[in-house]
Amino acid sequence: KEKFGVVVTYCKLNLNMPRSPSAAHSYQHGCSRMTLENSDLWKSFHSIGTEMIITKHGRRMFPHCSVSVTGLQPFTNYVIMVDMVPVDSFKYKWKKEQWEVAGKAEPQPPCRTYTHPDSPATGTHWMKQSLSFLKMKLTNNTLDQHGHVTPLSF
């Protein structure tokens, strides 16, 4: 097993902006800010060490990712994406009722991002309400052709 975090990023259409360095409650770039909406729920799941079993057909993430965005240019088009990144460079195994490091993680395949279905859209569109990634699915199928995110290495 490896631990993964969620990174939600955005970029102006046709402009390559740097990705967020880590999954966090809030991410700010310039005057724009992206904030996790259900952060208390995420924190409670994190504190008990919840894990999720995923399948080749894909499974929706729970809790799902929902973010609010502020400070975008109203008439500029943006693409919003989600990426899964390793939390660290280790594998883990369950031993004596806790996770223990079991060695170095396998090299990661090229990232597979999930693009929000409203992309591309104007800053005004993205800022008018929370963005939900409820329909995003995670899969362990590295050959997936359905746009699901593949967070695991094999």
pLDDT > 60? residue 11: no
Q: Could you tell me where the beta strands, DSSP code E, fall in the chain?
A: 2-12, 26-29, 32-36, 59-60, 66-70, 77-95, 98-104, 114-115, 121-122, 131-132, 137-138
Strand pairing report for 26-29 and 121-122: unpaired
Give the per-residue pLDDT at 129: 95
Reported pTM = 0.68
Domains of the chain: 2-138 (2.60.40.820)
The per-residue pLDDT for range 123-137, each reduced to its tens digit, is 999 999 999 988 888
